[in-house]
Amino acid sequence: MNSSGSFLSDSEIEMSRSSAELELLLNLFQVEKLEGALMRVGGTGDGSYMIAKQDFTDCLLLSGGISDNNDFEFELGNLGVRCIQFDGSIIDPPKKSPNLVFHPKYLGRTTDQVTLGEMIALGERHFGQVFSSQILKLDIEGAEWSLLENEDLRQFDQIVLELHGLSDIFSKSKSRAMMYLVDHLAEYFFLVYVNGNNCCGFINIGGSAIPNVIEVTFVNRNCFVSKGESSELIVPIANIPNLPPLNLWGLRNR
């Protein structure tokens, strides 16, 4: 039985004993303490994200997925960030600003794919400058894995992701892209924030309760300094107000 009192299946037991994928997945819950401050941008619920404070005056934000809420992008725009937004589900962004530009386009689709380099080039052409720093934020409902497969992410100061379908890391058809991204992030970035999105519950993998959707913030090791493994409790955000938050404290420090 697991810590929640549920019986484990044979496949879950096998995963917990021999799966490199499981160990890689659990690394997504080990937070390091940042030498510097974190700030929540875009409110206190769904559509808001944690990022590290930095100089935003010469910064380009690539943002995939905004739907009916671009408070995060709008607030960063007010701080001087230039932002290029992508979302094929809408024809116009909810909030507009001279520092924000919008393209009604899905990201991560197998047809008519756009690379990160092409997105940066679009932003530079629109704003007429080359930026000294870039931030990547994606909430594209599971397409993030295919979009970022084989991409070199070292050009970004910070990466903010909503990661969907974590159990798919055990699917042979999907695990390659997922393992590449997690491994690549671990090599060049360190995790400063993780939150279980309470929208979609969790799954039991090898006796560990893994949220189906998590929000993570990674910062580049060349741009920020880690003070080592964090021992501080991060209060989870309730993305869906009428549901309890998913507290990851016990999992992250198992």
In a domain, residue 80? The reply is yes
In a domain, residue 220? The reply is yes
| pLDDT tens column, 146-177 | 899 889 999 999 999 999 988 777 777 788 88
Tell me which residue range forms the domain holding 16.
10-252
DSSP string of 29-50, one letter each residue: G--EEESS-EEEES-SSTT-EE
Q: Which two tokens stand for residue 176?
A: 């390659």
Distance, in Å, from the CA atom of 184 to the CA atom of 189, rounded to the nearest integer, reads 8
pLDDT at 18 over 60: no
The CATH number assigned to the domain holding 140 equals 3.40.50
pLDDT of residue 123: 95
Q: Cβ(205)–Cβ(12) under 8 Å?
A: yes
Distance, in Å, from the CA atom of 60 to the CA atom of 58, rounded to the nearest integer, reads 7
Residue for token pair 């390659």: 176
* Mean predicted confidence (pLDDT) in 89-103: 95
In a domain, residue 1? The reply is no
In a domain, residue 5? The reply is no
Average confidence score pLDDT of the chain: 86
In a domain, residue 76? The reply is yes
In a domain, residue 3? The reply is no
pLDDT at 252 over 50: no
Distance, in Å, from the CA atom of 87 to the CA atom of 64, rounded to the nearest integer, reads 6
pLDDT of residue 253: 42
In a domain, residue 146? The reply is yes
| pLDDT tens column, 21-33 | 777 777 778 899 9
Tally of domains within the chain: 1
Strand order across the beta sheet in which 158-164 lies: 100-103, 82-86, 59-64, 133-138, 158-164, 213-220, 189-196
In a domain, residue 201? The reply is yes
Q: What pLDDT band is residue 254 in, cutting at 50, 70 and 90?
A: very low
| pLDDT tens column, 199-233 | 888 877 766 778 889 999 999 999 999 999 887 77
